[in-house]
Structure 1
């Protein structure tokens, strides 16, 4: 497993990230933002698939301030419960600063002209926050939680955003989805895609939550989005 070390914005500490490099030169870089389960095999597989598409893919360990190297299986009840505990302790504002540090690292140390991000679950929420609070070039969020509470930040979004929303998401109730559409459908930089009847986690690479057809469709939309906006 290949990892890199990323200095924090204050350069007073550092954290690691899993990195997948394409054969030949990368056409751009993409930050893969973890779920509450850490940089686990599914997130690393997301990086590997992006590398196969020609992107330099980096999954930073955003839980490092709590514990380094967290890697949990959502299909194991005890590990799911542990992940919820880590999420409750996680400082999301600090996480966004670490994502900005990862953006800076990719530009300064890896020569990436453009940097995008894609996040899942907690990472989907963080992808939206990244779009509003950093200089990321393009952002994608899958089943982001609690985005209705962040809609006041939408005016700060300057670069393209795509959000994938399963309509039967147990963590994102219909009223939250309605608020997202009401607040974002008219935003010139934001595109929302609904997936009827699907639940949270449908695009996971491994495990019981995956829906093959919907994951394939959503990932194709993401690929086209990055091809357009990270070119």
Structure 2
């Protein structure tokens, strides 16, 4: 496990990404998109788990323009508040361009294998934006926030997308969930799974938010999805 340097498209410097390589040739590449807490131990563990499953895995530091290398713990109130401030300052459009640069790097690093994206919270929203704005091969979004405000981009999605919705998500209320279903249920490339009674962050790798059974179910569905699309 190591860090790698990624060149952004705008030539404004460079940023780092956590890199986890599998034993032998990768079956594909998976980019893990952070929550609002940076590339913290939970995000790095997701990369490690994907590499153990045979994928090359990368997690770009999307907050590098604000506070490079920051890692926050959602269970510490002061750090949670700091994360909310960072989210408010974060340029999501620039973030998607940085994800696109990471997709390019992942294809080069993996030997032109297919690339998937798995995002959580803010990353779930960015995964949806990535599906609509890039040529990534597959996208998964866990409890993405504000996707109902992105439905105007649904027609640009041409590759498979899987969304996990937490039924009791205090950031994504039932009316928002209903708009997501209304806007996406008939999309031939989008599949949505609902998790009744589960709250935001239920698939976190560690900490108080994790809900074990729901996390394992969602992760199993994600693994099956990537196996089908990426190989």
Q: Into which bin does the TM-score normalised by the smaller protein fall?
A: over 0.9
Give the aligned partner of residue 64 of structure 1. Answer: 64
CA distance in structure 1 between the aligned counterparts of 2:15 and 2:5, rounded to whole angstroms: 6
Describe the SS at the equivalent of 1:64.
Answer: coil
TM-score of the superposed pair, with normalisation by structure 1? 0.98
Give the aligned partner of residue 185 of structure 1. Answer: 185
TM-score of the superposed pair, with normalisation by structure 2? 0.98
What does residue range 1-231 of structure 1 map to in structure 2 within 5 Å?
2-231=2-231
Q: Would you say how many aligned residue pairs link Structure 1 and Structure 2?
A: 231
CA distance in structure 1 between the aligned counterparts of 2:12 and 2:179, rounded to whole angstroms: 39
Moved more, 42-51 or 1-10: 1-10
Contact 1:29 1:112 in 2 (8 A): no
CA distance in structure 2 between the aligned counterparts of 1:163 and 1:195, rounded to whole angstroms: 11
CA distance in structure 2 between the aligned counterparts of 1:52 and 1:11, rounded to whole angstroms: 33
Contact 1:62 1:95 in 2 (8 A): yes
Report the Cα offset of residue 92 of structure 1: 0.1
CA distance in structure 2 between the aligned counterparts of 1:140 and 1:70, rounded to whole angstroms: 24
CA distance in structure 2 between the aligned counterparts of 1:230 and 1:181, rounded to whole angstroms: 25
Describe the SS at the equivalent of 1:106.
Answer: helix
Contact 2:28 2:110 in 1 (8 A): no
CA distance in structure 1 between the aligned counterparts of 2:115 and 2:146, rounded to whole angstroms: 24
Moved more, 91-100 or 12-21: 12-21
Describe the SS at the equivalent of 2:56.
Answer: strand
CA distance in structure 2 between the aligned counterparts of 1:112 and 1:59, rounded to whole angstroms: 18
Report the Cα offset of residue 109 of structure 1: 3.8
What's the RMSD between the two structures over aligned residues?
0.8
What residue ranges of structure 2 are gaps of 5+ in the alignment? none
What residue ranges of structure 1 are gaps of 5+ in the alignment? none
